[in-house]
Amino acid sequence: MLHPSDSLPLPPILSFRREMEEALRLVLAAGPLALRYYTPDMVVEYKGEDDPVTQADREVNAFLVRGLRSAFPDDGILAEESADDPTTRLGRRRLWCVDPLDGTREFTERVDQWSIMVGLAVAGTATLGVVYSPPRDLLLAGIISEGAWVWDEDGWRPLRVSSVDDPGQAVMAVSRSHRSDKVDALMAALGIRREIRHGSVGMKIALLALQKADVYVHPTRGTKEWDLCAPEAILHAAGGMMTDLYGRPFRYNKPDPANPYGIVASNGYLHPIVLRKIEELGIRGA
């Protein structure tokens, strides 16, 4: 079991060593903060329709932002539960993206499919990511062009996406709580017969790096930069691909952090096949 007092060795990286060290330290320390509220009598509020928030979201958010601001005062920060002032971040080359509880619905239902995510975008590109699932004691990390890893009892184990190139042999990661008719139609058109249901956008993307899934499609609006940065960095570092539904790369530190054009994440081999079928079916945008 990982603990905040654990001094984990860094993955075998050459660059961004201090950034990775701080990100790992912060997410491990944030885990117990979230678990304090992971009880049957937790208080759940709503920021909007079907958009729950808890005290755990707020407390973990404040802790992570405070730690990043202290360690990297010259960087921009974009965090889900912090008021966003674009004027304080748009001129920065580096942006930290913080999702204190990715999968808040699963957290409120006490389903162990939520995570804490910290990502670093450099010059608009997702570059470093850490995704930590406290209830599963699962920790993933990655840096573009260096590699992706998962921590287990033997230390850091390298991650690599699958080489499946036939949709009929692929596994699709699908939402546990937001089943989409568009995804069902896409699976049928591609001939994908196997799926794995999971909460947390970040964890569904992480399933690809863990070779438990081969493709994930989020066909609607609703995600923000903090949902994407950390898992995208890990997926790319593991050899995968992630774009919007038009095949365009994601750019970070935009004036509006919303992503209205969905997500396609894959092992890379399946990416052009999936994008072509999305175009044929007219599955794009909101």
Each residue of 107-144: pLDDT tens digit?
888 999 999 999 999 999 999 999 999 999 999 999 99
Distance CA 124, CA 109 (A): 35
Domain shared by 152 and 179, yes or no? no
User: Phi and psi (nearest 5°) for 161?
Assistant: -65, 165
Domain shared by 275 and 152, yes or no? no
User: End of a domain among 158, 191, 226?
Assistant: 158
User: End of a domain among 135, 158, 181?
Assistant: 158
5 in a domain, yes or no? no
pLDDT digits (tens, 9 = 90+) for 44-103: 888 766 678 888 999 999 999 999 999 999 999 999 999 999 999 999 999 999 999 998
How much is the pLDDT for 14?
95
User: End of a domain among 141, 158, 175?
Assistant: 158
4 in a domain, yes or no? no
How much is the pLDDT for 8?
87
pTM for this prediction? 0.95
How much is the pLDDT for 177?
74
Domain shared by 203 and 270, yes or no? yes
Closest alpha carbon to 274 in 170, 174, 160, 181: 170
249 in a domain, yes or no? yes
Q: How many structural domains compose the chain? A: 2
Domain shared by 225 and 150, yes or no? no
Domain range holding 99?
Answer: 17-158
pLDDT at 228 over 90: yes
pLDDT at 174 over 80: yes
How much is the pLDDT for 41?
84
SS (H, E, C) the chain: CCCCCCCCCCCCCCCCHHHHHHHHHHHHHHHHHHHCCCCCCCCEEEEECCEEEEHHHHHHHHHHHHHHHHHCCCCEEEECCCCCCHHHCCCCCEEEEEEEEECHHHHHCCCCCCEEEEEEEECCEEEEEEEEECCCCEEEEEECCCEEEEEECCEEEECCCCCCCCHHHCEEEEECCCCCHHHHHHHHHHCCCEEEEECCHHHHHHHHHCCCCCEEEECCCCEEHHHHHHHHHHHHHCCCEEECCCCCCCCCCCCCCEECCCEEEECCCCHHHHHHHHHHHCCCCC
Domain shared by 185 and 265, yes or no? yes
